[in-house]
Structure 1
């Protein structure tokens, strides 16, 4: 089987491991502190990557500023909120399912912010998507058994993170439709550090347990997700196969839940499974006529 066929699935698989990595990483470092290390290393490696591959740098400081600002929302506020929530007890499976809100939120606000119209089928998808997310998440939040209940506030922060990545997606669509995605990705990590470094300093002890486990997790976060997934996205863009990745992205929430079950033994309850299936169907219906992933990445 050729790379052309495997690349979209590998991209989605790499992306789905982010939630499992978040739960694993907090064992060895405070979540925001780990993200600071990850962003710094990814930014440095992207600088080298851009130089080696002859990437085009932004034509003006204004465009560079837009790239940095998109990183504030797409990485800084988004991953910062998600990782903090996981560190506060939100399971990797639930957090991954909440991730299904992002395309739904984007579609919901698109008519007001981008002038896009939703078809009746897309509106049905929105309703199904939000019902599915609620069905999957709320039983855990409202559980009477304190041993299995998830704190409501971290879940809310997780949802706010999805709102941030939704705004970041729209911001990038408005201001970064042109330019080299390689240098844009590098500058986005600069924006992420601008938010995450002071947040880690103010909210955490900046604990880091240096050891092989930390370095292995950091290597996967930087090379596997921050670099590997982006490199595959660049390949897909170049080969014109981004639509395949866009369709497979709907599998991220269930993949994250299954990975959390296999690695951490997190329970896959009937409401979670049913809600995820409904949410995936809703996301598919909502985005079946959406623009390709290349324009939203």
Structure 2
């Protein structure tokens, strides 16, 4: 089997562990502070890789496009999601709103003429959304609460959707290492500024759980998973790439059941199977421009 065929599955598995950072890290500091530290450490990781591998640097125009991508994909999406969870938005509701991303991305890609979908693929996108809803409803349930914090989740949804489309359409052409470095430079500036404005009086409580959450978020998510995502966006259709995200809630539910003894009902298991069937339909085919 070609290594490239494994990339989407490794990405989905890593991306589904994102809850570890929020669940283990947020009790010890503010959301923007956590993200600023994460972005700073990620920058150091990419600086080390760049020093060893010496890839070519992007032009100023390419760097600007990466700054825009980083602001949306990393600072905007993660900042909105972490802030919403910190403000008390139920995890199930946040996951359901963000779970609209594959369908929203596909609709926008189709409307912009970037990708054409066959009827079975549209059915697959709807099945994926239905499966995601069942996973959430069969886990901790769907609590319609959170107040103004819901606006942060909606902002996170819009920003990751826009960032995905922008990266596919405008963010190509440079080396992935230096491109990612510029993305995280932008994300660090934004999250660092937000931390200084809103959380400068909140101290960080360093602990083993916090260090583990930070290390996992940096190495597995911000470095490895993002490099895989950039490769997927470079080589694949944006709608098909986004469809893989329907598998994330199911894998997250399985990990929460395994690691934290959270509930995993037959309804949630059915949702996992339904979401997988939806992804399979999307990946069957379709024509791109």
TM-score bracket for this pair, using the shorter chain length: 0.7 to 0.9
Structure 1 residues 28 and 3: CA distance shift in structure 2, 3 A: farther
RMSD: 3.6
Partners of 2:77 and 2:259 in 1: CA distance: 24
Deviation at residue 218 of structure 1 after TM alignment: 1.5
By how many angstroms is 1:26 displaced? 0.7
Deviation string, structure 1 residues 102-157 (Cα, Å, up to 9, x no partner): 22221011122344332211222233334444455575224xxxxxxx53554553
Aligned position for 1:209: 205
Q: How many residues align?
A: 282
Instruction: Provide the TM-score with structure 2 as the length reference.
Output: 0.80
TM-score (normalised: structure 1): 0.78
**2:79 alignment partner in structure 1:** 80
Q: Contact conserved, 1:50 with 1:182, CA < 8 A, in 2?
A: yes
Give 1:86 deviation, angstroms. Answer: 2.6
CA distance in 2, matches of 1:171, 1:236: 14
Give, in angstroms, the shift of residue 193 of structure 1. 1.9
**Contact 2:94–2:153 (Cα < 8 Å) also in 1:** yes
How far 1:227 sits from its partner (Å)? 2.1
Change in Cα spacing, 1:287 to 1:18, as seen in structure 2 (3 Å) is same
Any gaps of 5 or more consecutive residues in structure 1?
143-149, 293-297
Instruction: Please name the residue that 2:42 is paired with.
Output: 42
Moved more, 198-207 or 78-87: 198-207
Matched, 1:69 2:68: yes
2:160 is matched with 165
Q: 1:288 to 1:266 in 2, by over 3 A?
A: same
Q: Which moved more, 1:61-70 or 1:42-51?
A: 42-51
Greater shift in the superposed pair: 197-206 or 250-259: 197-206
Alpha-carbon distance between aligned partners in 2 of 1:41 and 1:291, rounded to the nearest angstrom = 40
Counterpart of 1:104?
103
